[in-house]
Amino acid sequence: MQESGRIEISKAERIEIYSTMSTVHFTESIVINAHESESLTGLASNRYMIRAVNIQSIQPLKYLLEFYGTDSFDSTDIDTDSFIDHVELDMSAYPAFRVNNANQYKLNVGALEILYEDYDVTRELHISLHNLSPTAKIAGVSGAVQLDIKMSPRL
């Protein structure tokens, strides 16, 4: 609605942040070209626009964060595989960084427009962390990873 040359904005985009816990999610060892999958519960909707991903990692490894539509994830049957999209999270190169060259590596990947839909309608975010590095991700605290997925609901 426009009044007196002004544009009125009645509703702004709502961003929700869903976070993994380093002691609960992605705690296993992941060798090169393998992945570990998780289904994050508690989503407010089954359809989202994924806007950004923030990662913190103890090891400087190169990952893909893969998004799937069901908790069956990867399938050899390409007609039933629920792969939606992925984001590269390279903790071994700039713009990943460490503060004072200590502690965990940090990286934010923004300006994403991933159309996510939970096909099994369970209000879960089905994600998989895929290791592309020749070095294995270490299990437990020594290889801890924590992710924040920034998303907005869509119709």
Q: What is the pLDDT of residue 80?
A: 86
Per-residue model confidence as pLDDT tens digits over 29-56: 999 999 999 999 999 999 999 999 999 9
User: Which domains does the chain possess?
Assistant: 13-153 (2.60.120)
Q: How confident is the model at residue 7 (pLDDT cuts 50, 70, 90)?
A: low
134 CB-side CA count, 13 A: 0
pLDDT digits (tens, 9 = 90+) for 111-125: 999 999 999 999 999
- Quick one: pLDDT band at residue 3, thresholds 50, 70, 90? low
Residue 9's φ and ψ, nearest 5 degrees, are -105, 115
Of 6 and 65, more confident: 65
Whether the per-residue pLDDT at 9 is higher than 70: the answer is no
The CB density around residue 25, as the number of other CB atoms within 10 Å, is 20
φ, ψ at 136 (rounded to 5°): -75, 145
Query: pLDDT tens digits for 55-95?
Result: 999 999 999 999 999 999 888 888 888 999 999 999 999 99
| pLDDT beyond 70 at 11 | no
Averaged over 133-148, what is the pLDDT?
98
Share of the chain above pLDDT 90, in %: 83
pTM of the model: 0.90
Burial class (CB in 10 A: 0-12, 13-18, 19+), 63: buried
Contact at 8 Å (CB) between 44 and 142? no
